[in-house]
Amino acid sequence: MEYIKIKFGNDFERIGSRIERTIEEIFRPRPLNPMFASKEHCWTPPMDIYETDEQIIIRAEIAGVDKENLGVEINKKAVRIYGSRVELPRVPNATYRLAEIQYGRFERIIYLPSPVDVDIVNSIYTNGFLELRLAKQRERESYKVPISED
């Protein structure tokens, strides 16, 4: 079975972001067994980012993260989403055959395609998805500068 790769957007990815993502994938720790998972293990939640003429929308899949363990920081050029997912109790005397759910700290810094107004942000966390709606910063209208005489 072949998989179809879907790319959203009209322009090609910048080479820098592709290299950054590749390096992140290479060095991202992946525990093979829950007993090897460290409490300091850092995982990366999957995200979707898209934009309209007025907004940039970010959706992060962070199921199992309590709202109290979640943080968002925004400046006009980037968004930092971070927090932690608490590990569920292990089943006593069980032999794990597959352990893919990642626990512990996570952090994701997203550089935005255009500046945003940090005063106009909406966030919703429901059914394991965090959605941020960021208003794009409007370009300032030009104004006439008075010239004074010496």
Tokens of 149: 């005489």
| 62 domain-assigned | yes
Indicate if the pLDDT at residue 82 is higher than 60: yes
Distance CA 82, CA 79 (A): 10
Q: Which domain holds residue 119?
A: 15-88+98-136
pLDDT digits (tens, 9 = 90+) for 87-115: 989 889 998 888 888 999 999 999 999 99
| 34 domain-assigned | yes
Q: Are 133 and 55 in contact (CB under 8 A)?
A: yes
| 143 domain-assigned | no
Predicted local distance difference test score (pLDDT) of residue 142:
73
| 93 domain-assigned | no
| 61 domain-assigned | yes
| 149 domain-assigned | no
Q: Are 74 and 134 in contact (CB under 8 A)?
A: yes
| 7 domain-assigned | no
Q: What is the CATH number of the domain that holds 127?
A: 2.60.40.790
Average pLDDT rounded to a whole number, residues 5-27? 51
Lowest average pLDDT, out of 9-18, 56-65, 88-97, goes to: 9-18
Does the pTM surpass 0.75? The reply is: no
| 145 domain-assigned | no
Average pLDDT rounded to a whole number, residues 58-82? 94
Sheet holding 78-85, edge to edge: 42-43, 104-111, 78-85, 70-74
Domain count for the chain: 1
